[in-house]
Amino acid sequence: MKPIFLTSKADFEKFRTSKAFYSEGMKLRVAWSNQNFPRFGFIIPKKVLPKVSDRNKLKRRLRAIIRANLSRVASKDLLIFPKSGAIRKTYKQLNAEFISLLTQARLWK
């Protein structure tokens, strides 16, 4: 199954009042979804990572982590806010942190 990524403004608006979970390198917001599969979105502002290449690199890593763990994630809409230190973390560290956040949010099957 191919993951669906959030793209429309309406998709992102519903996260304003959603529950947030925090870790050292990222923040996760969870919103209810009527879909039968999880959907993901990313917000990485210039203030966090000024270089476009760094923001894109981090998004590619996070997409790869999502694809690798998709079958074990509950059907909710998830918005990921990486912090500035996330670019210095390895794939393995980011993956562990992502799984930790999902477990904290009780979305890890």
Lowest mean pLDDT among 2-6, 11-15, 32-36, 67-71: 2-6
Question: Residue 1: pLDDT above 60?
Answer: no
Domains by residue range for the chain, with CATH: 4-104 (3.30.230.10)
Judged by DSSP in three states, 45 sits in coil
Question: Residue 2: pLDDT above 60?
Answer: no
Share of the chain above pLDDT 70, in %: 97
pLDDT digits (tens, 9 = 90+) for 33-45: 888 889 999 999 9
Query: From start to end of 6-106, where are the E strands?
Result: 19-22, 26-31, 39-42, 77-82
Under DSSP, the state recorded for 54 is H
Judged by DSSP in three states, 1 sits in coil
Q: Does residue 25 contact residue 89 with C-beta atoms inside 8 Å?
A: yes
Neighbours of 39 (CB within 10 A): 19
Give me 6's structure tokens: 């959030």
